[in-house]
Structure 1
Amino acid sequence: MSEDQKRVLEQQLWNIANTLRGKMNADEFRDYILGFIFYKYLSEKMEIFANDILKQDKIKFREITPKTAQANDFLEAIKEEALEKLGYFLRPEELFTEVAKRGMGNNEDIDQFDESKTNFILEDLQKILTNIQLSTMGTESEEDFDNLFEDMDLNSTKLGKTPEARNTIIAKVLTHLDKIDFKLENTELDVLGDAYEYLIGQFASGAGKKAGEFYTPQEVSKILAKIVTTGKQKLKSVYDPTCGSGSLLLRVAREVKDVAMFYGQEMNRTTYNLARMNMILHGVHYRQFDIKQEDTLEYPQHIDDLPFEAIVANPPFSAKWSANPIFTSDDRFSQYGKLAPASKADFAFVQHMIYHLAENGTMAIVLPHGALFRGGAEQHIRKFLIENKNYLDAVIGLPEKIFFGTDIPTCIMVFKKCRENPKDVVFIDASQHFAKGTQNYLRQEDINKIINTYQNRITEDKYSFVASLEQIRENDYNLNIPRYVDTFEEEEEIDLDAVSNKLVDLEKDIKTTESEIAKFCKELNISTPF
């Protein structure tokens, strides 16, 4: 699929999404449209899988009805295989296309939808979405499908004041979506995954401050992903303790040939559902991801899992946490001697991630600039990480206004337990290298420059500097980038003699002009203004 075709598809999906919008805000109608797309994906995946099994019987899955000979035998055999391989099961009459057709009713033109000609499908559809989850009960995939569609209340008045109005709008959306080919049979393409990412980005741009809960801009995700995969083709595991919609985890997977296992934790229930959908939509098998829902700092869910080879995160900036004294005996924090302040959890996330990092691993975390230079407990933790552990590998300053919902400039801190360059830390000031817009963004050349500078540890005037540990020590573990990368621009020297001569000439010009004005005033018989 060409880039132009992808853009057409993305625009089609965005137009369909806006059919639902009405009076809903971005994060509300997001849950419906992404849920319907996910249902369509599950249906098409189910049909392709079942048709492959039924090839030898020369029958199509959708053709199986209660009247079909051995219908129950066919369905039971397919269900058993589907639960093992796909993790869920749908009956032929529950497929997306069949429901869309029933909803269309006797309407011939989708743009001239007559409510009286539609069939009522709301109850059926709600049951089907529930049945998808119920089909997994008692199986390995149960946790991964549990309450996935809980944010799709088809009886919400936000969809329409009456059941008939709600039915019409949903039937329209399903019919529009049914006409789009996601090309799932072509396993080389990830058309739907890319389109899903596009929609998540679009919703983030309209969600204001809430966007930070579920989305990291793609260009920042690329930087984090490229950093933690440097020198690697395969990863045993990747982990994001504040995984949002899961986009950052999936971005890491694009930088290597294979990721054996994805781990993540997300506090927001709706966003947690979105992350699981996103994983499945991108073809990640249910056995290959373990996404949990809970507060990462207070109730870590992966504490007993093996250390992770790659860790990425874009945690909420300067979030509050309990900083409960009980955590001083928690293995994640105990060795530091101090906890991150309750008002700013930035370094609590750093400590949590380092605890989970494998000896051969790399972690990259996005933080507000204040984390680089604030004093107190944070300075104490910085000193411990640099002086006692020597884990800090790089500090990268990013431009302002590149994250949704905040204008503040941010940075990326990179940590490794076994550093290839243990005697220095590379500082990069990329804050002036971006394209301006309503939302500023990093261009591909900006991303390439950051990654090249990091990987080759280049010192470049006014852009980067490789600082020795001694220099960081001299700065009392203050990591503020301007202390290491000199971006001061000298002002052009002023020629005072030239300025003086110019003033003399101006004075002569003024006197000449005043003389002329006085002459005209005399001729007009009026007083001069001088």
Structure 2
Amino acid sequence: MVAIDFTAKTKELIDNLKGICTTYGLGNDGNEFKIITQVFLYKFMNDKFGYEVKQLEPKLAQAESWEKEISKYTDEQYEMLLLRMKPENAKLKREHFLANLYNKQDKEEFAKLFDDILRDIAIFNNDIFSVKTGTGAKIILFDELSNYITDSSQRDNFCKAIVNQLVNFSFEKIFNQKFDFFSTIFEYLIKDYNKDGGGKYAEYYTPHAVSKIMASILVDKPVSNVTCYDPSAGSGTLLMNLAHAIGEDRCTIYSQDISQKSTSMLRLNLILNNLVHSIQNIIQGNTMLTPYHKVGDKLMTFDYIVSNPPFKLDFSEYVSSLDTKQNKERFFAGFPNIPKKDKDKMAIYPLFIQHIMFSLSDKGKAAIVVPTGFITAQSGIEKKIRERLVEQKMLRGVVSMPSNIFATTGTNVSILFLDKANTKGDIVLMDASKLGTTVKDGKNQKTLLSDEEEQLIIETFNKHEAKEDFTVVVSYEQIKEKNYSFSAGQYFEVKIEYTDITPAEFETKMNGFKMNLDNLFAESKTLEKEIQKQLNRLKYE
């Protein structure tokens, strides 16, 4: 009940912050998402700091105002308190507290004070919360948010409205909640900013059903001290589900994504989901051209990889830079031809599949969203990749999903599962395309899977069960015989049902067929005569 109540209150806070942005002319502005997400994060960090220091100092928990009580500490006492905090928690100076801002609203240039405090928090916690670009530059936690208000005379009022909204609510009672709560909040927080209309490098949000299925099939037994990677991480839905399935304290996250907006969202997602220790591994950059994560001169390999890569993208400007001796093994199947027009329709996802195959550790597992056409293509890069997966015995299976599982694209998708330890075969091919219920999602149709259908997919796959018209379990040799097709439907048995009947029943059926034919023939002759009769009546006038 507490979680339900706080979910509603948190969503109300988000809506109110968006209302303030609208009032000050920033509704649907390109910078609105920065203001909303960063203000939300500041509030979250402030309350989390209060929660953590109360665990360390019981007298702070008993005080009417922990901020007032902590203001009595000497500088040395306060420094010792900060040193006792967990390394993944944000450290705040006393002037950073939200209560301090609230009490200084009568100060001149309040907007500057607001910006200075956020910037100082970012600098004070730079080693923990900064993400890096591919060149090593650090992207700090907070921007100067008031500068997004073009009318400088309104900046103070804007910041005061934000602060007054934040003090009406506290997160403290929900810090013991786990993934499901914070994933819901995160989705609501970014729902207006993670659309597919964002231009060349638009972010696509992976549906929860797909994310859950991928994570639950990949993590089918307890593991610890493992590495998890997404080379096209977006806002991190796949990584969060994977980390939750493993245990946030039993894995380390690595990622790369070309989008600065997605990288900022992923950082927020990590903070909300108790994965702050992995923020240093979040990279904004071009994974295909300049993969960041390396051990020495060699690319790092990972225990678990998840990816919903962009399917089509114009990468013609740098495809020649990929075709090098150093990349020969990474891109063993080659590169697509550059079309003379419609370059944005270049299929980039086969490059991500090859990169993922190259990035798996010796016992690594991967789950990749691919267009369903990939699993049966009979030529080109796609066919070469499937042949390599079979030859190197690293295919675990495929799940073909229902159409419109992504509301934003009409492309049918499948999930490709890899496992470098699956040398004996026993490959599961599943056709889940008939599952789900179609609903209206704005202007689009969307297919939703029920909890029972999700579990059916997960349990059937993990148990390696063969079910009629749903799953088959095949060997590498059988896949070779089918010309490397990964489509379950091509392996289903065609069944002809036979019904035993007696000679008398056979005689009765045949007599019935003959009588029916006689009647049809008689009717046909009558029609022929009528047609002839009508034709004879026709005259030229």
TM-score normalised by structure 2 residue count: 0.76
| Number of the residue aligned with 2:475 | 468
CA deviations over 1:374-433 (Å, ceiling 9, x no partner)? 32122122212212x02111111112222253121111100111116x334322111221
Q: Is the 8 A contact 2:129 2:276 kept in 1?
A: no
Give 1:101 deviation, angstroms. 5.0
Q: Which residue identity lines up with residue 12 of structure 2 in the other structure?
A: Q
Partner Cα distance (1:500, 1:196) in 2: 73
Q: How does 1:24-39 map to 2 (within 5 A)?
A: 24-25=27-28, 28-39=31-42
Partner Cα distance (1:496, 1:200) in 2: 72
Q: Is the 8 A contact 2:365 2:419 kept in 1?
A: yes
Q: Is the 8 A contact 2:96 2:121 kept in 1?
A: no
| Number of the residue aligned with 1:370 | 373
1:222 and 2:225 matched: no
**Counterpart pick for 1:344 among 330, 347, 351:** 347
Q: Is the 8 A contact 1:87 1:286 kept in 2?
A: no
Give 1:299 deviation, angstroms. 0.8
Partner Cα distance (2:371, 2:57) in 1: 55
1:313 and 2:346 matched: no
Partner Cα distance (1:440, 1:228) in 2: 23
Give 1:127 deviation, angstroms. 0.9
Q: Which residue identity lines up with residue 226 of structure 1 in the other structure?
A: S
Partner Cα distance (2:130, 2:401) in 1: 41
Q: Which residue identity lines up with residue 243 of structure 2 in the other structure?
A: A
Q: Is the alpha carbon distance of 1:407 and 1:290 closer, same or farther for their aligned partners in structure 2, counting shifts above 3 Å? A: same
Q: Which residue identity lines up with residue 418 of structure 1 in the other structure?
A: A
Q: Which runs of 5+ in 2 are unaligned?
A: 339-345, 498-512, 524-541
Q: How does 1:226-237 map to 2 (within 5 A)?
A: 226-237=216-227
Partner Cα distance (2:234, 2:481) in 1: 38
**Counterpart pick for 1:259 among 250, 254, 269:** 250
| Number of the residue aligned with 1:268 | 259
Q: Is the 8 A contact 1:309 1:357 kept in 2?
A: yes
1:324 and 2:305 matched: no
Partner Cα distance (2:514, 2:192) in 1: 57
Q: Is the alpha carbon distance of 1:496 and 1:262 closer, same or farther for their aligned partners in structure 2, counting shifts above 3 Å? A: farther
CA deviations over 1:320-349 (Å, ceiling 9, x no partner)? 434436545336735835345562222211
| Number of the residue aligned with 2:508 | none
**Counterpart pick for 1:95 among 94, 97, 103:** 97
Q: Which residue identity lines up with residue 151 of structure 2 in the other structure?
A: T
Give 1:140 deviation, angstroms. 6.1
| Number of the residue aligned with 1:508 | none
| Number of the residue aligned with 1:380 | 384
Q: Secondary structure at the match of 2:465?
A: coil
Q: Is the alpha carbon distance of 1:501 and 1:42 closer, same or farther for their aligned partners in structure 2, counting shifts above 3 Å? A: farther
Give 1:366 deviation, angstroms. 0.5
Q: Which residue identity lines up with residue 62 of structure 1 in the other structure?
A: E
Partner Cα distance (1:21, 1:208) in 2: 21
Q: Is the 8 A contact 1:393 1:424 kept in 2?
A: yes
Q: Is the alpha carbon distance of 1:315 and 1:191 closer, same or farther for their aligned partners in structure 2, counting shifts above 3 Å? A: closer
Q: Is the alpha carbon distance of 1:169 and 1:334 closer, same or farther for their aligned partners in structure 2, counting shifts above 3 Å? A: closer
Q: Which runs of 5+ in 1 are unaligned?
A: 106-117, 506-530
Q: Is the alpha carbon distance of 1:70 and 1:382 closer, same or farther for their aligned partners in structure 2, counting shifts above 3 Å? A: closer
**Counterpart pick for 1:41 among 41, 44, 52:** 44
Q: Secondary structure at the match of 1:234?
A: coil
Partner Cα distance (1:500, 1:147) in 2: 86
Q: Is the alpha carbon distance of 1:54 and 1:448 closer, same or farther for their aligned partners in structure 2, counting shifts above 3 Å? A: closer
Q: Is the alpha carbon distance of 1:484 and 1:497 closer, same or farther for their aligned partners in structure 2, counting shifts above 3 Å? A: farther
More displaced 10-residue stretch of structure 1: 323-332 or 212-221: 323-332
Q: Secondary structure at the match of 2:170?
A: coil
Give 1:132 deviation, angstroms. 1.4
Aligned-residue RMSD, C-alpha: 3.9
Q: Is the alpha carbon distance of 1:188 and 1:149 closer, same or farther for their aligned partners in structure 2, counting shifts above 3 Å? A: closer
Partner Cα distance (2:458, 2:355) in 1: 25
More displaced 10-residue stretch of structure 1: 258-267 or 407-416: 258-267
Q: Secondary structure at the match of 2:229?
A: strand
| Number of the residue aligned with 1:517 | none
Q: Is the alpha carbon distance of 1:162 and 1:7 closer, same or farther for their aligned partners in structure 2, counting shifts above 3 Å? A: same
Q: Secondary structure at the match of 2:238?
A: helix
Q: Is the 8 A contact 1:201 1:217 kept in 2?
A: no
1:62 and 2:67 matched: yes
| Number of the residue aligned with 1:402 | 405
CA deviations over 1:133-187 (Å, ceiling 9, x no partner)? 21135x5665579434456632224xxx533444434433433333223235753
Q: Is the 8 A contact 2:119 2:143 kept in 1?
A: no
Give 1:459 deviation, angstroms. 2.3
Q: Is the 8 A contact 2:252 2:277 kept in 1?
A: no
Q: Is the alpha carbon distance of 1:303 and 1:499 closer, same or farther for their aligned partners in structure 2, counting shifts above 3 Å? A: farther
Q: Which residue identity lines up with residue 420 of structure 2 in the other structure?
A: K
Q: Is the alpha carbon distance of 1:484 and 1:190 closer, same or farther for their aligned partners in structure 2, counting shifts above 3 Å? A: closer
Q: Is the 8 A contact 2:17 2:165 kept in 1?
A: no
Give 1:200 deviation, angstroms. 4.5
Q: Secondary structure at the match of 1:370?
A: helix
Give 1:74 deviation, angstroms. 3.3
Q: How does 1:152-171 map to 2 (within 5 A)?
A: 153-157=145-149, 162-171=151-160
